[in-house]
Amino acid sequence: MPSPSLSLTVSQRAFPAHPRADRYFAAATSEAARRRLLQCLVRGDGPALLLGAPGVGKTMLLEVLSADLAQQGLCVVRLASTQLCTRRALLQAILHGLGAPYRDREEGELRLALTDLLSDTTATGEGVALLVDEAQTLPVRLLEELRVLANVAVDGAPRLRLMLAATHALDEAFTAPELDAFSQRIAARCYLDPLNRDETARYVRAHIAVAGGDPDRLLAHDVYETITRASDGLPRLINQVCDRAIVMATEQDRAVIDAAAISEAWSDLHQLAAPWQSPASARLAAASQPQAESDSSVEFGVLDDEEYAAAPPAPQGDWNAGDKLHEVAAASPAAEAFDDGDESFEEEDDDLPCVAYAFPGASTRFDEEEEALLREADDLFNEVASASQAPSEKAPAGQPQPVSESKQAAKAPQATRDPFDEEFDEEEIVIDPFAELERVIPAAPVVTSKPSDLGRALAAIDAAVDGLLADEAFSAQPKAPAPKPSVVAAAEDDILIVETEDGPKPEARREEYAQLFANLRHG
């Protein structure tokens, strides 16, 4: 008797696309977050945050919290921030959730109406619980508006209990300085994590059991590990891949969902091969499928001529290019065809097989000049190889033999001419007829009677210093008439020399020094 299909076993949809409070799965992090958030909102401790990656179950937790808060006597308002871009739209959404008029009002009127409604205990009961989903899309100005509304209180009890569900981007946004006042008021931060392997298995089994199915009969033992890999433990992806697997199994009239069914469902959703499948299993699955007569698929494998592209073993000793080409030519299929008596190669050159192998598409014939160049290259290589060996050593087998002395002499390069080995003209000696006179009659030193500016300045400074030193020495001596100096006539530009007679030096006056330095400064 055939097994019943999944459509007959499962009475209703086991994995719905949208969150339902009756399908809540109490995972470890989800249940801990639910209890902490419920306590924070009921007690009115302050704003609360629910953070997690997309698809981890934040909206599902909001559904459960809405039911729990309603049982506590709070008016619950749910907001989807994707439609909110202005303060007026935010205030209208809150008033609409409370059932209050919100049309044809300005922003100020909406704010006053909402404040009065929150303060009215008869209209809102124990208070209002505002649950905002996708709060990471709210701009800063709307977050500040929510903070101000959360400050409304009656008798010390807050009238608006605020909770924000968002991704981790909101947690980073609260580090901004403009949100510092809001960040200080946050009373609870809860984080949701993906499900592990055991939680995924219990999640899948619980959903199938709630839908009226028997998980032991419908699920194979190896399906849970594959579901965890396909969904990364995110409840949204678990619902998606499991629901698709059930639909495909129903269409194919299969009664059991195994790992292959989950992989097929994932590939159908993403139109890609399952990344967790091994290459061996993929080749086995491809080989099990019959190929059509006109198969136009691409095959992978080793080409027929790929064996000739393998690198040959490294030669021992010196390597001869000419010998290597002949070895490759002898191993090529063209050479085998030639040895078998193929007439197509009778008129070709001996180097045809190696050239056709080494340079496909190139000309396979050499002219006389090219052949001469190849022979000259081989001879030059042999000379270099023989010169590198000691004269007493004998070249081992398989290496080129030393070239004869006559051939070496014929090919020996000519001696290079020294470019500096040439005769130069003798340098002409020039005799100076006046050099002897300069040695006999030494040149007189150049003396000028015109003093320089530096000389005059130094002479004036020396005179001033001498006067300062003599001021203290002769201050106590009686004044005597100053001797009349004799002035030696000099030219206009000559230095003026003053000679005094022997005797007591006259007393120097300070005003004379000041006048002297003033004259020096003015030139």
CATH code of 263's domain: 1.10.8.60
Count helices and strands in the chain by DSSP H and E runs: 23, 9
Phi, psi at 149, each rounded to 5°:
-65, -30
Q: Both 145 and 266 in a single domain? A: no
Q: Within a domain: residue 185?
A: yes
Q: Within a domain: residue 502?
A: yes
Q: Which two tokens stand for residue 193?
A: 């994590």
Q: Both 50 and 130 in a single domain? A: yes
Q: Within a domain: residue 170?
A: yes
Q: Within a domain: residue 433?
A: no
Task: Select from 279, 297, 312 the last residue of a domain.
Answer: 279
- Hey, CA dihedral for 105, 108, 111, 115, is it positive or negative? negative
Residue for token pair 């946004």: 173
The CATH number of whichever domain residue 113 belongs to comes to: 3.40.50.300
| CA nearest neighbour of 350 among 367, 340, 365 | 365
Q: Within a domain: residue 439?
A: no
Q: Is the pTM of this model over 0.75?
A: no
Q: Both 175 and 106 in a single domain? A: yes
| CA nearest neighbour of 263 among 227, 209, 317 | 227
Q: Both 201 and 183 in a single domain? A: no
* pLDDT tens, residue order, the chain (523 aa): 344 555 545 567 899 989 999 999 999 999 999 999 999 999 999 999 999 999 999 999 999 999 999 999 999 999 985 678 899 999 999 999 999 999 999 999 999 999 999 998 888 888 999 999 999 999 999 999 999 999 999 988 999 999 999 999 999 999 999 999 999 999 999 999 999 999 999 999 999 999 988 999 999 988 999 999 999 999 999 999 999 999 999 999 888 999 999 999 999 998 887 775 655 455 545 555 555 444 444 454 545 544 444 444 444 444 444 454 445 445 444 445 444 444 444 444 444 444 444 444 444 455 677 778 778 888 877 877 777 654 544 445 555 555 555 555 555 556 677 777 777 677 777 777 777 766 666 655 555 555 567 777 777 887 877 777 666 555 545 555 555 544 444 445 555 555 555 556 666 566 777 777 777 776 6
Q: Both 203 and 220 in a single domain? A: yes
Q: Within a domain: residue 466?
A: yes
Q: Which amino acid is at 203?
A: Y
Q: Within a domain: residue 153?
A: yes
Q: Both 167 and 205 in a single domain? A: no
Q: Both 164 and 50 in a single domain? A: yes
Q: Both 482 and 498 in a single domain? A: yes
Contacts 24+ apart (CB under 8 A), 243-248: 243/13, 243/14, 243/15, 243/17, 244/268, 244/269, 246/6, 246/10, 246/14, 246/15
Q: Both 69 and 122 in a single domain? A: yes
Cα 242 versus chain centre, distance: 37
Tell me whether strands 157-158 and 160-166 are parallel, antiparallel or unpaired: unpaired
Query: What is the SS3 assignment for 161?
Result: strand
Q: Within a domain: residue 117?
A: yes
Q: Both 153 and 82 in a single domain? A: yes
Q: Which domain holds residue 484?
A: 453-521
Q: Both 157 and 134 in a single domain? A: yes
Instruction: Report the distance separating Cα 297 and Cα 314, nearest Å.
Output: 39
Instruction: Report the distance separating Cα 193 and Cα 55, nearest Å.
Output: 10
Residue for token pair 């190669």: 345
Instruction: Report the distance separating Cα 34 and Cα 18, nearest Å.
Output: 19
> For residue 242, what are the CA distances in angstroms to 57, 233, 258?
16, 12, 11
Q: Both 146 and 38 in a single domain? A: yes
Q: Which two tokens stand for residue 308?
A: 């000739």
Task: Select from 210, 244, 279 the last residue of a domain.
Answer: 279
Contacts 24+ apart (CB under 8 A), 245-254: 246/6, 246/10, 246/14, 246/15, 249/5, 249/6, 250/5, 250/6, 250/7, 253/5, 254/5, 254/6
Q: How many domains does the chain have?
A: 3
Task: Select from 215, 244, 279 the last residue of a domain.
Answer: 279
